[in-house]
Structure 1
Amino acid sequence: MTAKRPRVVVSNYGVGDNSVLLVNKGILDGVRAAGLLEGDIVWRGPVGNDRYGYEQQAATALRRHVEVYGAPDMVVGQACFALALFRVAEQACPDAVRVLQRDSTHERTCKELVDAEMVRCDLPISADWGNVTHSEAEYESAHVITVLSHWVERTFIDRGMGRKLVYVGPQTAELMRWRPGERPDDGVDFRVMVAGQMRVAKGTHMACRAWSRMGGGADDQLVFSGHPEPQAGTPERLFIDNEVKEAQANGNVRVIGWGRLEEMPLRYAACDVYCLPSFQEGSSMTCVEAMLCGRPVVATENSGSDLLEEHNGEVGFMVPAGDDKALADAFEVYRRDPELRRRHGTKAREVAMEAGGSGRFAAGYARALENVWSG
């Protein structure tokens, strides 16, 4: 007799291009292609990314779904926005397996790492304990927590939660979108790019200090593809602005702002090395994008880049978080050796291609759900 396959409901953010939305789309695509999708709870949060608003819409949608279609076998929710959804599931479909997709470091570990760096930077800032309380309530309610990187996996194991974990990595990206491009002859001999939010948790100041420490020439350039955050005038923003200015005084540093999705392959092509200096990440999709574009990667041990961790020294260099000297040393190795950059970039693309694209992740997630369901 063929075993009963699970009927799955997935909380659906809608369409978007950030990493969380792309992971959510991959889950939906995989579950749908596997014939497991009973319903996707489509919901839109209010302007301002208000978590309570998002959660209540998802919870209401699940309650209505159960009223119309009956109880599903599994409910998949996105971390940070799943608590109200799971509370409804506990009451309306208590036998359903609650699956939490966690894209980032364990919230308590995240707070400890970022708070420690704030202290080191003499900033009077501490992450909200409410985020920790909320997230840990989600972890407690979930039967299963799926994670995309071994770094995230380790932060949960360290908190005694290994029994709930299912690894669904490594992170992937769309193979057809991210391809090598020609490096423009623009007068810059060596360019390092950092993409994303410019703030302490992302290690913006570490990249700036590493660049100053390296002491590159006039034809070398550090580029930030993003904007300083949070809002102007806050202590953290003033700190980041000052770090950028100091780096600019010691070398060629540019802040070029956010790039549209279609612009990013050109930005990867224009750099020689991609850098992710974060103190905490989940699975670093940008590292995969850079690798698919044929660029070597320098990232921290907290970046969640499984492909770099597995192939450290072959596709780039993994360094300790908060170590600007290690970052500077890695930059200098690549600055002095164009052939090594080329070789590591070629290998990086091979490794990322072998890991498979977003279709591999989608199919793998569906298989993971079936494995959880069967036993």
Structure 2
Amino acid sequence: MNVIYSIGARFGGAGIGTVACNAAREIERRGYLKKVICWSDENSGIRKDKISTVIPMGAFISRLPFHGTVDNCYDWLSSFHVSDCDVFHGWNNHSLISLRKAKANDAKIFIERASSHILRYKELVAEEYGRFGVNAEVVDGGVVRKCLQEYEECDYVLVPSEFAYESFMEQKFNKEKLIKIPFGVDSGRFRPMKKKDSVFRVLFVGQVIMRKGLQYLLEAFSELNLKNAELVVKGKVQAEMRGVVGRYEKLRNLRLTSWVEDLPRLYSSASVFVLPSIEEGSALVTYEAMACGLPVITTPNSGSVVRDGKDGFIVPIREVKALKEKILYLYENEKEAKKMGRSARKNAERYTWEKYGRNLVAAYRKALE
């Protein structure tokens, strides 16, 4: 079996680049990786002769803010690197031209959708923009059409969570084409470390954008006004959130940072991790926080593997009252918070990248039967 893996991102970089890198490593480790096609290789560890970067300066181009145009450019360029294979695995909105070329050579086509269905995504984020008066287009119409076309033309769509899976079922998508495989975490790198102070620290890690739900955490934490407590937000504040964040910047116990050198150490400095997402596929930061031994407060829409009441709490989206109740509970019940953190660590240990790779390769094999 020969697999070509294509992603229009910095391979081995943050976010989807991390998922792609770990997937390709597992495919390579089993002897099935023919090549990776990407914008750039960010020290992924994959053999250089198996990586095809589509153009010099790919890392720079991938960061340009014209996302639809950049993705279309990648799709066209990457198609020149597609050759005979048994399986073509491409990321959604990066792969229409490439998948057609691979399909013409009888490859089985897997499209990775690391978010909810594009129409559900658009609906949820549009609602959020409306609630906060953001005058911007959620997603270009061309992107929506391309995503839908890839769903139609591929053999299988891969999703990482029950939330993402159900978003497809709500659209009457063919169940036989849908495969759910949760992501993984490096529980050697992300591990519990001793907390060095007594501050009750609430941590948020992620892009500071509407769909991550930070606006509700800021409101909840501000209203709680806890003593000896701090909210740390690690992430770059995007334009759509500047007005919201600006209203809270003078909070004495709010710390904003766009970069940290040691992410596992940051997790271990916290008492609880909170990600009140409106829309995700399966947020890697929830796996990382759990692996670091933190109780996690999140929503069903984060696509996490958190077990409600065991590893933390699952709260409804946009519910400031519920966020306040759960944060306050962990603030007042330190022993229970630590117990949940230990449970979260044990649960995270079940979600390895090796297991992810094993499930992924099994899906490939089944498709080729």
Interval of TM-score (by shorter of Structure 1 and Structure 2): 0.7 to 0.9
Aligned to 1:244: 248
Q: Distance in 2 between matches of 1:295 and 1:82?
A: 37
Aligned to 2:63: 48
Q: Distance in 2 between matches of 1:52 and 1:131?
A: 9
Quick check: 1:277–1:300 contact (8 Å CA) kept in 2? yes
Check 1:48–1:19 CA distance in 2 against 1; reply closer, same or farther (3 A cut): closer
Quick check: 2:12–2:20 contact (8 Å CA) kept in 1? no
Structure with the larger RCO, 1 or 2 (CA within 8 Å, 6+ apart)? 1
Aligned to 2:146: 134
RMSD of aligned C-alpha atoms?
Answer: 1.8
1:116, CA displacement in angstroms?
0.5
Q: Secondary structure at the match of 1:126?
A: coil
Quick check: 1:168–1:368 contact (8 Å CA) kept in 2? no
Count of residue pairs the alignment pairs up: 342
Residue type of the partner of 1:343?
K
Q: Is 1:17 matched up with 2:32?
A: no
Flag structure 1 segments of 5+ consecutive residues without an equivalent.
Answer: 1-5, 66-70, 231-235
Q: Distance in 1 between matches of 2:364 and 2:270?
A: 39
Q: TM-score, normalised by structure 2?
A: 0.88
Aligned to 1:109: 120
Q: Secondary structure at the match of 2:226?
A: coil
Q: Is 1:366 matched up with 2:361?
A: yes
1:53-72 correspondence to structure 2 within 5 Å: 53-62=73-82, 65=83, 71-72=84-85
Q: Distance in 2 between matches of 1:168 and 1:258?
A: 30
Residue type of the partner of 1:316?
G
Residue type of the partner of 1:30?
E
1:287, CA displacement in angstroms?
0.7
Aligned to 1:282: 281
1:14, CA displacement in angstroms?
5.8
1:361, CA displacement in angstroms?
1.1
1:200, CA displacement in angstroms?
1.2
Residue from 76, 95, 101 that aligns with 1:82 = 95
Residue from 21, 33, 39 that aligns with 1:37 = 33
Q: Secondary structure at the match of 1:154?
A: helix
Q: Distance in 2 between matches of 1:47 and 1:76?
A: 19
Residue from 340, 343, 348 that aligns with 1:347 = 343
Q: TM-score, normalised by structure 1?
A: 0.86
Quick check: 2:215–2:245 contact (8 Å CA) kept in 1? no
Residue from 330, 334, 353 that aligns with 1:338 = 334
Q: Distance in 1 between matches of 2:22 and 2:111?
A: 15
Deviation track 1:155-212 (CA, whole Å, cap 9, x = no partner) reads 111111123101112x211121011011112xx5211000111121111211101112
- Over the matched positions of the two proteins, sequence identity in percent amounts to 26
Aligned to 1:200: 210
1:140, CA displacement in angstroms?
1.2
Flag structure 2 segments of 5+ consecutive residues without an equivalent.
Answer: 38-51, 65-69
Deviation track 1:230-280 (CA, whole Å, cap 9, x = no partner) reads 3xxxxx2442333433xx44x5111022224xx111100110000111110
Q: Distance in 2 between matches of 1:14 and 1:117?
A: 28
Q: Secondary structure at the match of 1:72?
A: coil
Residue from 219, 235, 242 that aligns with 1:226 = 235
Deviation track 1:140-159 (CA, whole Å, cap 9, x = no partner) reads 12110111111111111111
Residue type of the partner of 2:75?
E
Aligned to 2:43: none
1:74, CA displacement in angstroms?
1.6
Q: Is 1:146 matched up with 2:181?
A: no
Quick check: 2:15–2:284 contact (8 Å CA) kept in 1? yes
Quick check: 1:226–1:259 contact (8 Å CA) kept in 2? no
Q: Is 1:258 matched up with 2:259?
A: yes
Residue type of the partner of 2:155?
H
Aligned to 2:48: none
Residue type of the partner of 1:364?
N
Residue type of the partner of 1:159?
Q
Check 1:57–1:302 CA distance in 2 against 1; reply closer, same or farther (3 A cut): same
